[in-house]
Structure 1
Amino acid sequence: MAGRFLSIFKPIGRILPEIKKPTRKVSFNEKIFWTALVLIIFLVMTEIPLYGVDAGLQDQFGQLRVIFASNKGTLMELGIGPIVTAGLILQLLVGSSMIKCDMSNPEDRSLFTSASKVFSIGLTAVQAGAYIISGMYGTLTLPITLIILLQLIATGIIVMLLDELLQKGWGLGSGISLFIMAGVAQNILWSMFSPQTGLFIGGLSGLLNGSTTAFEWIVGTANGLPSLIGFIATIAVFIIIIYMQGIRVELPITYAGYKGFRSRYPIKLLYVSNLPVIFAGALFANVFFFTQLLWTRFGPGSSVTKWFFIIFGNYGHSDTGSIQSIGGIAHYVSPPHGIIGVANATPIYQPWVYLGILVVFCAIFSLTWLEIGGLGPNKVAQQLMDSGMQIPGYRRSEKPIEQILRRYIPAVTVLGGVIVGLIAGFADFLGVFGSGTGILLSVGIIYQYYELLMRERAAEMFPAFKSILGE
């Protein structure tokens, strides 16, 4: 049964907007249609400007927007940030046993979903309010302030429902993954073909008119513009991640109901996929967002606020007038972009501190997700037993299967978390298009969609496979 905290959300869950699960079988083509429609709605919202906001305002968050699939000055100003942050907070609370929740219990799972929705809407209001109070949109009248706030809250609810529409079975995958992939794809295309800053149009034009040197076009500039090395690194990271997706440990299993039937249970190197990077990226981005917003609004005035910003995140203005981190925790969880960014980092060890923090948090979130996501050795052993599977040479019992899985799953999980952290960090150091975390997430999402499409297609063409595929 649910704990006391989750029980609070039982009456609230009845009035929250909800997408119902389909009561009939949704065909493969229909799922494609709904997935495409959700993507189109998202892309349209990234282009509709917020009413009452000056379109010429400076973007304070730059590459960090890729993680949250957000776009400055539009309805998608907050992107998926509140949803991801709400899920991160609740999952950490459940993983640390501060909140009692049995995810195998349908009632607990329903209450957890209701709590996630409430937290998402609440965080949308908090982040929208923080943007307004910080003065990021300039001086606003009360009516305009309320209009902007309502626009952002309404968009947050729409994004939440679009994600739920796909996850409930009307479409493929999840809206969060789809939006991240679309945002990264937009960023990559803009980095390549933008008339002003794109590598192959703006960059080559700069080479011809002398405003850009060959060194800057190849290696990059201090302001992080796209470079040839970044383009090559983007392709290399794609290939490396796709290769990593195929590395696995395979345990032999047999089906107790049919003697002679043998198969293998795969334990992938990237066992928990790209989730650790999502959580780490969301945590770091929120630290950066909120400390910068507080600094913009209050600044280091009194001795109390001065020490607060020195510890948690201190900022200053660059030569171009943009705000940049110069110290505190926020500075050390902000990735430098490109070789020039690493070389000019202050202090010089900042990139390596960032890399170390990223790797540690990826490993921690990997282990945390084992229990929260039901991927731990005990859960997998139970699933194999329920499916009538056993490991050859061992008696058909859950305990020996769990002991064998415990030799591999935790070690592979930590190793996978460390590897994705290293790849994401070094990708940023080389200046990949779309940020290292963004590329890592998008490749993992594309691979997941490929597997999902193959499964859906196989189930559509060969209905007898549904039981094998667990559908």
Structure 2
Amino acid sequence: MESLDPILERLITVQRPKKALPLSTRLMWTALAALVYIIMTITPLWGIHRTAPTGAAASIFYNPLVSTIFGTTFGTWAQLGIGPIVVAGIIMEILQFSDLLPFDLNDKKDRLRFSAFQKLLALVMAAGETAATIATGTFGQLTPIEALAVFVQLLIATQIVILLDDMIAKGWGFGGSAINLIILLSITRTFFVDLFSWNMPTFPNINPADYPAMQLPLGFVPALAVAVYNTIHGISPGILDLLFRQVPPSIALPDVVSLAATLALAYIIVYIEQMHVNIPAAYTQYWGFRINIPLRFMYVSVIPIIFTAYSLILAEQIVAGVAALTGGISPALAVLLTAMTPARILTPDYIVLHILLYAALATVFAWLWGQIGGIGPDEYAKSLVQSGLHVPGFRQSERIMARVLKRPINTLILLSGMIAGTLAAIGDIFGVWGSGIGLILLVEIGLGYYTQILQEGLMEVYPGLKRVLSQ
């Protein structure tokens, strides 16, 4: 890797602030980062000829769910979103855990090289995805000049996102990463559309006159206003048509059922997120001083459900592609293909299979991420021992601490993955806004920001508290 040092040293980066910034200043920089990304989502790419994706790759990489998770907006400078950064980060974590990279993350210089190499990998992945997108005709037929212009624009856009992430991670912004911020913005945008969009819903090959659900505005608030007006004047569609708006076979529009499901599921997620499992521990240097180490009940949930959604979408497209080549699929496979799709389908076979698929895959991915993501009992035990903690009745030892933590942490990893997958699937079935996965991400990221703001605000009011906690 040392041969890449000249390249890594030339990557554009953000310097850390000379001193710790107050919370208000960091919130201002975070708001600026959000504004920059919002501008990127409405800045069109020069040189493209299509306003909607086409081609074989479009159904996978520009699936609405994938677009929401990765914060992508087709045809704009946010075309790639955070996809290259997220995928590069996961690849680096896997390679580092497998000892395939020669980085010692306990060494400051190696940590900097690891971070720089991850940025370089993100740029490489952005270049590869852009080239594939252009080659498959997703943007339409481009001249060489137009193709080069699109390629350069998306590389610059990815570099901007990397810098935004670097700025927040190094202490200028708030939240530790721009990744969470962009995911939050993307899901919030979906919620805003579902609430306030005045556009009329349109779908290919479907006549709005055949379905009252399509004769009301897309957003719930304007649809409610129109429905109330129509009811007062005895016109259809009215209030009753807003209770359950669905265009066959499974296109759910914002309605009373989906609103109630969104609020109910959000409450359940918030409640579960507040649950903890306490592990008794004691400080080695303060004899007799004991504390409880709170382990989150939802120990790991975000990464597994993102993997689950992406893998199901990919599997769905593979099965559909095979069916197109072979001229059809068996009835059993057709049922499985339908179960892979996030939709509001209230048939027993879909409900059972969709929940089982999500729960099983999320559990598997949670276990895998627990092994390679640096959140397993060995890593947790190491951090606790370094903090001067040990298990009462045992001597201070990473091995002993890891053995004590192994059972509860592994159990929480499996449970949190299964519960996250089940809740995401239930959200899809009831048509929650932003999808079940989107709602889980929204609540988790929102709670994380809220908790951090409270903690840092408290420490600014009581500076001595920060010194006590750091000890």
Q: Shorter-chain TM-score: what band? A: 0.7 to 0.9
Contact 1:338–1:429 (8 Å) recurs in 2: yes
Rounded to whole Å, the distance in 2 between the matches of 1:327 and 1:142 is 42
1:210 to 236, 255, 268: 236
1:285-333 Cα offsets, whole Å, 9 max, x none, are: 6677xx69xxxxxxxxxxxxxx99318x9899xxxxxxxxx98999578
Matches within 5 A, 1:70-219: 70-99=72-101, 101-173=103-175, 174-196=177-199, 197-202=218-223, 205=226, 208=230, 210=236, 214=240, 217-219=243-245
The one-character-per-residue Cα deviations of 1:156-206 (angstroms, maximum 9, x if unpaired) are 110111011111111111101001111111111110111121122146536
Residue type matched to 1:269 in 2? F
Range 458-467 or range 42-51, more displaced: 458-467
Alignment pair present for 1:221 and 2:247 = yes
Q: Quickly say closer, same or farther: Cα 1:195–1:117, change in 2 above 3 A.
A: same
Residue correspondence of structure 1 range 446-461 to structure 2 within 5 A: 446-461=446-461
**Is the alpha carbon distance of 1:268 and 1:167 closer, same or farther for their aligned partners in structure 2, counting shifts above 3 Å?**
same
Residue 105 and residue 265 in structure 1: after superposition, are their counterparts in 2 closer, same or farther (change >3 A)?
same
Q: 1:233 aligns with which of 261, 284, 292?
A: 261
Task: Give the match for residue 310 of structure 1.
Answer: 322
AA matched with 1:186: R
Checking the alignment, whether the CA contact within 8 Å between 1:181 and 1:445 is kept in structure 2 is: yes
Per the alignment, residue 466 of structure 2 pairs with: 466
User: Is contact 2:224–2:239 with CA below 8 Å preserved after alignment?
Assistant: no
Task: State whether residues 315 and 327 of structure 1, in contact with CA within 8 Å, keep that contact through their aligned partners in structure 2.
Answer: no
Distance 1:328 1:120 in 2: 37
Report deviation, 1:369.
3.3
The gaps in structure 2 that reach 5 residues or longer are 200-217
Q: Does 1:258 align with 2:286?
A: yes
Q: 1:102 to 1:283 in 2, by over 3 A?
A: farther
Q: Tell me which amino acid in the other structure corresponds to 1:366.
A: A
Greater mean alpha carbon deviation, residues 177-186 or residues 106-115: 106-115
The corresponding residue for 1:367 is 367
Residue 22, structure 1, aligned to residue 34, structure 2: no
Count of aligned pairs: 434
Counterpart pick for 2:270 among 226, 233, 242? 242
Question: Which residue number in structure 2 is paired with residue 407 of structure 1?
Answer: 407
SS state at 1:201 partner: helix
* Correspondence for 2:7: 12
- SS of structure 1 residue aligned to 2:21: coil
Contact residue 223 and residue 242 of structure 2 kept, 8 A: no
Question: Retained in 1: the 8 A contact 2:382–2:398?
Answer: yes
Q: Give how far 1:219 is off.
A: 4.8
Report the secondary structure of 1:73's partner residue: coil
- Name the aligned partner's letter for residue 456 of structure 2: E
Question: Could you say if the C-alpha distance between residues 170 and 368 of structure 1 is closer, same or farther in structure 2, counting changes exceeding 3 Å?
Answer: farther
The answer to whether the 8 Å contact 2:245/2:253 transfers is no
C-alpha distance 363-469 of structure 1, shift in aligned 2 (>3 A): farther
Contact 1:199 1:217 (8 Å CA) reproduced: no
1:242 partner letter: V
CA distance in 1, matches of 2:40, 2:78: 6
**203-212 or 251-260, larger mean C-alpha shift:** 203-212
- Normalising to structure 2: TM-score of the pair? 0.82
Tell whether the 8 Å contact from 2:305 to 2:421 is kept in structure 1 after alignment. Answer: yes
Q: Distance in 2 between matches of 1:260 and 1:110?
A: 40
2:46 corresponds to 1:51: yes
Query: Structure 1 stretch 327-336 or stretch 10-19: which is displaced more?
Result: 327-336
Match of 1:272?
300
How far apart, CA to CA, are the structure 1 residues paired with 2:247 and 2:3? 52
Structure 1 range deviating more: 387-396 or 117-126: 387-396
Q: Work out the percentage of aligned pairs sharing the same amino acid.
A: 29
Q: Per-residue displacement from partner, 1:196-231 (whole Å, max 9, x unpaired)?
A: 211221465368353689457425323332232221
Number of the residue aligned with 1:295 = none
1:38 to 33, 36, 40: 33
How big is the shift at 1:434? 1.0
- Classify 1:11/1:330 alpha carbon distance in 2 versus 1 (closer, same or farther; 3 Å): farther
Match in the other structure for 1:335 = 341
Which range moves more in the overlay, 33-42 or 401-410? 401-410
* Greater displacement, 110-119 / 161-170: 110-119
Contact 2:49 2:141 (C-alpha < 8 Å) held by counterparts = no
List runs of 5+ in structure 1 lacking aligned partners. 1-5, 293-306, 317-325
* Aligned counterparts of 1:89 and 1:75: Cα–Cα separation in 2: 24
Counterparts of 1:119 and 1:54, CA distance in 2:
29
**Distance 1:468-1:448 versus aligned 2 partners, 3 A rule:** farther
- State the Cα RMSD in Å: 3.3
Which string of whole-angstrom CA distances, capped at 9 and with x for unpartnered residues, describes residues 413-460 of structure 1?
Answer: 111111111111211121111111111111111111112112222222
Q: What is the DSSP-based 3-state SS (H/G/I as helix, E as strand, rest coil) of the residue aligned with 1:200? A: helix
3-state SS in 2 of match to 1:338: coil
Higher relative contact order (CA 8 A, sep 6+): 1
Query: Using a 3 Å threshold, how does the CA distance of structure 1 residues 96 and 337 change in structure 2: closer, same or farther?
Result: farther
> How has the CA–CA distance of structure 1 residues 17 and 233 changed in structure 2, closer, same or farther, with 3 Å as cutoff?
same
- In the alignment, is the contact (CA less than 8 A) between 1:12 and 1:114 conserved in 2? no
Tell me which moved more, 457-466 or 149-158: 457-466
Kept in 2: contact 1:49–1:74 (CA 8 A): yes
Residue 244 of structure 1 deviates from its aligned partner by 0.9
Residue equivalent to 1:298: none
**1:443 match:** 443
Equivalent pair of 2:344/2:431 in contact (CA under 8 Å): yes
Q: In 2 relative to 1, CA 117–358 (structure 1 residues): closer, same or farther, beyond 3 Å?
A: farther
Query: One-letter code of the match for 2:93?
Result: Q
Q: Is the 1:284–1:333 Cα contact (8 Å) retained in structure 2?
A: no
SS at structure 2 position matched to 1:192: helix
**Compared CA separation, residues 268 and 138, structure 1 to 2 (3 A):** same
Q: Indicate the SS of the match to 2:247.
A: coil
What's the offset of the Cα at 1:251? 1.5
Describe the shift of the 1:45–1:191 C-alpha distance in structure 2 as closer, same or farther (beyond 3 A): same
The 2-side partners of 1:40 and 1:430 are apart by 33
- Aligned partner of 2:207 in structure 1 is none
- Work out the CA distance in 1 between the residues paired with 2:17 and 2:334: 49
Shift of 1:34: 0.8
1:176 maps to a residue whose letter is I
